[in-house]
């Protein structure tokens, strides 16, 4: 008897869910416009879903459908250009360049439509950026403070023989930080970011090295002391602030590659005004402050006043911003396949 009740209820609920799905889009179309965006998960996603997006929906009387499920770019590629699955694409700079080349996103934003662009640091709308970078992290060196290591001052410190097997890097084909690090090696050990031969040679010298897919795994490797020093973005270390973890972030003197959070608009978007309004909203000082302090990202808007703790560490003055290096992603994407093959060979043997 009980069994029967359970199964019947389940069936009814599945049915109800299906019915709701049929009904939902019609209701939305009738009442409000929907802005379709991508956004990160984790803490960032919590803040977005918890307060940032609801406030935007209220201000603009719209609804926002935020996709947190990777992979964004293949989904955008697979959807019709005239009716793209996203209106605003939030992703890292390298993927934005890939999308721009394929005509999936608009190259530049207009200050008339996004007034807050007037207040951003130049790097956020530089020639290296598609759309606008709303935040940036700095890719530098993380290290454990309890292993008797001196705070690293140069990217070359990662090659210290003492760190054999205790240094950490990324699977370069799938991780932006790994790709940025590779170009950085070309700059430091060779003639520039594009000196791949020098970069490959330097990479060879870093073996043995532990490799990770995601930065989240690298963070856990720091916490568990599996890695003593490794490539990571500042927010990946600072987010453990206050937890008494023996880890710290160092800015090498050669500079730190920027890991930009870039927003761009799709050409086929049916709600472009709303899309620009959303980008403008994301650049607003109050929104920028909330997210910057939530996840330790450096805000692009010059007018953001951060609390002392964040102000001390994030890149929010012209002097500090000058340490950021923007990577030639378009150039990199064009030869990504060759680089992937080469790198796989180096790191395999």
Partner 1 sequence: MSARRFDAGRAGYFALNGAIVTFLLAPIAIVAVFAVNPTPYISFPPVGVTLRWFEKFFSSEDFMNALWLSLQVAVAVLVLSMLIGAACALALARGNLPGARVLTAFFMSPLMLPAILTGLALFQIYLLAGIGRPVWGLIMGHTLVAVPYVLRTTLAVLHNFDRRIEEAAAILGASPVRIFFEVTLPLIRPGVVAGGIFAFIVSFDQFPISLFLVLPKGETLPVVLFNYMKFDLDGAIAAASMVSIVMAISVVLLLEKLIGLKAYVKL
Which residues are near partner 1 by CB under 8 A?
3, 7, 10-11, 13-14, 17-18, 21-22, 25, 36, 40-45, 65-71, 74-75, 78-80, 83, 85, 214, 216-217, 219-221, 223-224, 226
Helix count and strand count (H, E) for the chain: 15, 11
Cα gap 214→46, rounded to integer Å: 19
Choose between 170 and 189: whose C-beta lies nearer to partner 1: 170
Choose between 10 and 111: whose C-beta lies nearer to partner 1: 10
CA angle, residues 175, 137, 338, in degrees to nearest 5: 25
Q: How far is the CB of 210 from partner 1 (least distance, A)?
A: 13
Choose between 70 and 331: whose C-beta lies nearer to partner 1: 70
Half-sphere exposure of 201 (CA within 13 A, CB side): 10
Choose between 7 and 145: whose C-beta lies nearer to partner 1: 7
Q: How far is the CB of 317 from partner 1 (least distance, A)?
A: 28
Residues 6+ apart with CB under 8 A from 169: 178, 181, 206, 209, 210, 211, 212, 230, 231
Choose between 237 and 325: whose C-beta lies nearer to partner 1: 237
Pairing of strands 298-299, 132-144: antiparallel
Choose between 194 and 245: whose C-beta lies nearer to partner 1: 245
Q: How far is the CB of 106 from partner 1 (least distance, A)?
A: 20
Q: How far is the CB of 313 from partner 1 (least distance, A)?
A: 20
- Two tokens at 13? 């609920």
Q: How far is the CB of 65 from partner 1 (least distance, A)?
A: 5
Q: How far is the CB of 170 from partner 1 (least distance, A)?
A: 13
Beta bridge partners of 91: 262
82 by Cβ neighbours in 10 Å (0-12 / 13-18 / 19+) ranks as exposed
Q: How far is the CB of 32 from partner 1 (least distance, A)?
A: 16
Choose between 224 and 244: whose C-beta lies nearer to partner 1: 224
Choose between 25 and 103: whose C-beta lies nearer to partner 1: 25
- Two tokens at 33? 């416009």
> Residue 50 gets which letter from DSSP?
I
Interhelix angle for 53-60 vs 272-282, to 10°? 130
Q: How far is the CB of 288 from partner 1 (least distance, A)?
A: 20
- Two tokens at 202? 């330097």
Cα gap 55→42, rounded to integer Å: 19
Nearest one of 264, 338, 279 to 95, comparing CA atoms: 264
Would you state the torsion angle of the CA atoms of residues 339, 341, 342, 347, taken in this order, to the nearest 10 degrees? Answer: 110
- Two tokens at 15? 């049915």
């Amino acid at each position: 008897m009980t069994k029967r009740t359970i199964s019947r209820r389940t069936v009814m609920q599945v049915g109800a869910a299906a019915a709701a799905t049929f009904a939902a889009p019609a209701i939305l179309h009738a009442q409000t416009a929907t802005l379709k965006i991508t956004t990160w998960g984790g803490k960032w996603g919590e803040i977005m879903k918890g307060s940032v997006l609801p406030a935007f929906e209220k201000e603009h009387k719209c609804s926002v459908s935020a996709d947190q499920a990777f992979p964004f770019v293949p989904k955008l590629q697979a959807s019709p250009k005239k009716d793209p699955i996203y209106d605003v694409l939030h992703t890292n700079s390298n993927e934005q360049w890939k999308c721009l080349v394929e005509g999936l996103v608009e190259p530049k934003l207009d200050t008339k439509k996004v007034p807050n662009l007037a207040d951003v640091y130049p790097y956020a709308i530089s020639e290296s950026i598609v759309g606008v970078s709303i935040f940036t992290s700095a890719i530098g060196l993380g290290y454990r403070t309890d292993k008797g290591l001196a705070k690293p001052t140069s990217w070359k410190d990662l090659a210290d023989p003492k760190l054999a097997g205790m240094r950490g890097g990324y699977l370069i084909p799938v991780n932006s930080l790994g790709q940025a690090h590779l170009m950085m090696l070309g700059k430091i050990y060779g003639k520039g970011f594009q000196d791949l031969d020098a970069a490959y040679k330097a990479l060879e010298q870093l073996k043995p090295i532990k490799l990770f897919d995601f930065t989240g795994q690298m963070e856990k490797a720091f916490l568990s002391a599996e890695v003593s020093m490794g490539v990571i973005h500042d927010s990946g270390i600072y987010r453990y602030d206050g937890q008494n973890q023996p880890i710290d972030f160092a800015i090498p003197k050669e500079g730190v590659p920027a890991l930009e959070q870039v927003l761009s608009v799709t050409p086929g978007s049916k709600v472009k005004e709303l899309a620009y309004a959303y980008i403008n909203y994301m650049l607003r000082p109050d929104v920028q402050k909330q997210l910057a302090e939530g996840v330790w990202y450096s805000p692009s808007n010059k007018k953001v006043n951060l609390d002392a703790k964040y102000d001390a560490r994030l890149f929010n003055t012209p002097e500090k911003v000058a340490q950021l290096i923007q990577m030639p992603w378009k150039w990199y994407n064009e030869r990504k396949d060759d680089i992937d093959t080469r790198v796989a060979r180096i790191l395999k043997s």
